[in-house]
Chains A and B, each alone.
Chain A
């Protein structure tokens, strides 16, 4: 990380690879939002009390 000039070069706008990252990030973010609000099975604290396949630990039965 000692030679920033080695990759200095972009003088135009946002490079294509950055745009690709932004698009992928937006798609992933949208997918998480859809999973959270539509499916209800995504996000912290949503694994504990409901949903298919969720059951109390065997020891608690």
Chain B
């Protein structure tokens, strides 16, 4: 059921918010084998539902999301269950406050029913790096959910809830959306407050969502967007959904994302989507973006650098897991060693390396200069093209365990998602087709900075074409 249908039913009293929450909880329990959720927030959810139902009976105004159940990725501070970031170090961390995004949704009557699995601290592309076990793909349980927001993608695909929240630093919403066949948006950097969300790489971290229709995506983003005094990087609210696109757009397909290294099934689905775009009256041309080949290296310098800084706060002293030791240094070291998964350690140590004085200019500074060149290439293309298009990932969902022992192979899954992240651009996964084995394949639509509404309007137009 669409969000607007639920809201209409609940606010008119035709159905209760309680029944919406109860059936979502039942669906969550029925889907336990996917291991998409780390915890249910059932007691709090039912309490909130009763409150909303009471307001409806009393004739009070209820919000734009009244009675709509949703799931948060477990790196959003949210009440009702611990906020773990799928890590041991935060295993028993009960958030003392809620993320701004969660607060805004609740203010409109949405009800959080559970917290979804992720790669610990959102470090990964498959949800295999969770300290609490892997999440299974919604379409084929032998395959990964994608990541890092794998749990949120799966609960959306399984219709447990109409929408779920994710974070996207380098593809963590878009790639699992593609792997499970749902919409997933990474908005322009600064659209939604990062306050109360476990920080990964502050210069590319964004908050977005998964849903099964573009209209639902637009509604949720409209509620979450806006400036927050608690996050100095948020932009004054610019986002307003547009009607379905009717213009003829100029669309550039990035040639470097369609080469031999990309799975044939992915190229086929993308080509078919391009034909659908042409049939809808758009001009689609191939464009070149030579800097694409350097983007992944930039990302895996800049992001670990920011991670090493952001994760320094987990020390076992002020909150989180603590391992007792004789000295303070040993207490820090052992709490962190036991509290982080291997991929967290890799990234922290690479970050320490690229930021150390002898290497700073050669790695970190070089990457930030390269980032400028990347942005310049985008800007040049956007002088001619309204939106850019690429596959979402080089392959459909890969097998569980297939890339787990090779960090570089895993990083390569992010090839197409990291460039928009480094440039702060809005990008959307559109479910576009399936592989011969029936695995979902998505295409990525990339917009100009702050042109989020246009890529959604285009997706809207293509929804039934």
- Are the chains A and B members of one assembly? no
